[in-house]
Amino acid sequence: MANEIHNYKQLIELAVLDAHGLLDPIESDVFTRSFHDAPASIQDEIIQMQRDFALDDSLLPSDVPNSSLKKQVLHAVAEAADQEARRLAPLALIGARASAMRGKLGTSKQTYFWRTAALILFGVAVVLGIMAVESNQRATRVAQIAMNLNATSTITNTVGPDFNLFIDNPYCHVTRLEREYGNNDGYIRVAVNERFGGGYVIGLDLLDGEEIIIQGTTADGEVIELARINADGSIVGHSFDIAKELIPGLTIAAVDANTGKRWI
């Protein structure tokens, strides 16, 4: 029962981070698998929670656009419409000549038609601009999905084929480790199986040559070394052994073997 409660809390935490777009490839994969394996009632709760986040206006930025932004946009669209009008000028001239020969079109009518054409071109330019923005957003999402899939595949190739099965287990718990001080380059994720024991450590984008010691502090206060990773590539990691009896209450951290700087 304790494991079920813990994994429920972890799933909710991952759902909150997912709603804010803060999950890295490993955690995104864990969340997706755990969400699909969760009962329908929990799935509905997560969907409703993420919908509330999406509709919460208080999370939107409070910055007010510069008052001149509207003028700049309208000016840019007007210039585009003028360029299109100049491109179509020869066709309009042909029509004007034919009308003059027939004596049916006056100056006022030509001006009216030109204004109508300008308004139509303005609307077309706005629609094309919106389509361009939406296309760019879709391309960004597709690129992010492709990057996540590529990262997951690379991690599996690095740490072994059993990695996906390990993190897919509902008793798998992932710990996020970031540098305590200094720059934000690289991050470490440590996964342990709370029921059967064992674990994996993954390091991404660490500084070249770094040696990191993964440590665990048991519920009794004993500090034990779980694993070590050496930054000899953009993605490094491997499995490690830990008895299931040591996992309850275990606190995981890391330390640089050369500088002593901590990851928490």
- pLDDT (tens digit per residue) in 4-27: 444 778 888 888 888 888 888 888
Task: Report, as an integer, the average pLDDT of 23-48.
Answer: 85
What is the residue extent of each domain of the chain?
1-58, 68-140, 162-264
Fold annotation for 162-264? Immunoglobulin-like (2.60.40)
Q: Between 115 and 54, whose confidence is greater?
A: 54
Q: Rounded distance, CA 42 to CA 85, Å?
A: 57
- Residue type present at position 182: G
pLDDT tens digit string along 163-177? 888 888 888 888 999
Q: What crossing angle do the helices spanning 2-19 and 25-37 adopt, rounded to 10°? A: 120
Q: How far is CA 234 from the centre of its chain?
A: 19
Tokens coding 141: 């999402």
Q: Out of 117-126, 167-176, 241-250, which region has the weakest mean confidence (pLDDT)? A: 117-126
Q: Out of 43-57, 76-90, 104-118, 192-206, which region has the weakest mean confidence (pLDDT)? A: 104-118
Position 156 scores a pLDDT of: 75
Residue 129's pLDDT band (cuts 50, 70, 90): low
Show Cβ contacts of residue 231 under 8 Å, excluding neighbours closer than 6 positions.
186, 203, 206, 207, 208, 209, 210, 211, 212
Q: Rounded distance, CA 153 to CA 131, Å?
A: 33
In residues, how long is the chain?
Answer: 264
Looking at every residue in the chain, the average pLDDT score rounds to 76
**Model pTM?**
0.49
